[in-house]
């Protein structure tokens, strides 16, 4: 491959990673771009998990052998099987040298300074590959993992020039991974409540729209629990905002813990003293049980006055739910009812019979509904 072709391959790899949405797409773009650039038939990107002492494969692309998957769940190798990870990679360049790459062949000959690696040679033979080039990926000045590109048996063996080019490609991959990390962190912050670490209102709105669409499409049960933390203003006024923030954080932990009772549930802080749980799949009774646990644990926090919980589920008799807004109104109305009655347990929309007060309140025109909310709040005001 000429210099112009290699430059074009580097640009294509960088562009592919820049266009990726999320880590998986970035991994695929990295491995696929490197495979094409080096004229390989297979490529993999792996991460060195120091705390577990293993090299874990993130993605496989190209001609996959039997048992290989594009995004494997559990393909990993103890690093002691690959001494170059803990010795060559760390000692040679983390100690002040430069990253290097090397070539292994099914016959056992190697190019580069890593030396013969029996496990890689055995893997080449087992999977019908003739040679591979391995390049370390350095991220934030540390060994992050490796880029691995192989050719099938009978193809031209990689040479020293390919190994040198693999080093360049690995550097481009590292830059792309760093960019992906930054973007994902920005996305995480955009959908995360800074104080509690839970999801925020924006995340709930997006997930709820998707959930209701799924309900309309295939009948999935969608349930929403809306919680109002009682007594936050009193805590702020008498004990200070630092204690109030601590109350919010502690309740956020309670909500997260109880949400774990519902597989895949989203725990979120909507703002101020309002929180919610969004569940897709679990039955309405399972969600009510989790909400009941939220109420019980909130009473045990020691500060504040517990929590008012309202539940709305498409599995209950609440009428058709065609929009996320209606389900939110129902859960919101149930929560206001719980607040007004100082209920120790969740109020559930649709469980009072044909003339359910919560459903009626949720479906009233907004002006009447707001007046009813004020009446609910005023009824038991101190």
Quote the Cα angle for 140-146-149, to 5°.
Answer: 140
pLDDT in tens, 326-375: 999 999 999 999 999 999 999 999 998 878 889 998 888 654 445 444 33
Give me the residues paired with residue 78 across strands.
Answer: 54
- So what's the pLDDT on residue 80? 64
- So what's the pLDDT on residue 4? 79
Could you tell me if 130 and 153 are in contact, meaning their C-beta atoms sit under 8 angstroms apart?
A: yes
> 278 in helix, strand or coil?
strand
Rounded Cα–Cα distance for residues 5 and 327 (Å): 56
Residue with tokens 């760093």: 178
In this structure, what token pair is assigned to residue 151? 């050719």
Write out residues in the chain with pLDDT < 70, as ranges.
1, 80-99, 109-117, 365-382
Rounded Cα–Cα distance for residues 378 and 366 (Å): 18
Give me the residues paired with residue 213 across strands.
Answer: none
How many other β-carbons are positioned within 10 Å of the β-carbon of residue 368?
Answer: 11
pTM reported for the whole predicted model:
0.58
- So what's the pLDDT on residue 5? 87
Alpha-helical (H) ranges within 260-342 are: 284-299, 324-340
């Amino acid at each position: 491959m000429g210099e112009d072709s290699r430059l074009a391959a580097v640009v294509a790899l960088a562009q592919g990673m820049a266009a990726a949405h999320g880590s998986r797409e970035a991994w695929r773009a990295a491995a696929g771009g490197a495979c094409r650039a080096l004229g390989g038939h297979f490529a993999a990107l792996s991460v060195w998990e120091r705390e577990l002492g293993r090299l874990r494969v993130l993605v496989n692309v190209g001609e996959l052998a039997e048992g290989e998957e594009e995004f494997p769940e559990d393909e990993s190798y103890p690093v002691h099987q690959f001494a170059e990870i803990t010795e060559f990679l760390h000692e040679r360049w983390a100690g002040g040298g430069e990253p290097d790459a090397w070539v292994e062949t099914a016959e056992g000959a190697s190019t580069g300074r890593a030396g013969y690696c029996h496990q890689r040679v055995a893997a080449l033979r087992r999977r019908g590959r003739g040679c591979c080039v391995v390049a370390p990926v350095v991220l934030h000045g540390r060994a992050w993992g490796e880029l691995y590109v192989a050719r099938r048996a009978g193809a031209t063996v990689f040479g020293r020039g390919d190994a040198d080019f693999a080093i360049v490609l690995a550097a481009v991959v590292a830059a792309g991974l760093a960019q992906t990390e930054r973007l994902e962190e920005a996305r995480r912050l955009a959908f995360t409540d800074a104080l509690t670490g839970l999801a925020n209102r924006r995340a709930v709105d997006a997930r709820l729209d998707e959930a209701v669409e799924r309900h309309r499409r295939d009948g999935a049960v969608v349930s929403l629990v809306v919680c109002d933390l009682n007594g936050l203003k009193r805590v702020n006024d008498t004990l200070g905002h630092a204690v109030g923030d601590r109350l919010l954080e502690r309740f956020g932990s309670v909500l997260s813990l109880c949400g774990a009772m519902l597989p895949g549930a989203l725990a979120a802080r909507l703002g101020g003293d309002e929180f919610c749980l969004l569940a897709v799949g679990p039955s309405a009774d399972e969600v009510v049980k989790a909400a009941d646990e939220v109420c019980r644990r909130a009473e045990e926090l020691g500060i504040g006055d517990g929590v008012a919980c309202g539940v709305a589920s498409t599995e209950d008799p609440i009428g058709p739910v065609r929009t996320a807004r209606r389900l939110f109104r129902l859960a919101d109305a149930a929560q206001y009812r719980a607040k007004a009655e100082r209920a120790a347990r969740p109020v559930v929309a649709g469980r009072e019979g044909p003339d359910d007060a919560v459903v009626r309140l949720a479906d009233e025109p907004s002006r009447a509904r707001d007046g009813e909310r004020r009446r609910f709040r005023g009824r038991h005001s101190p």
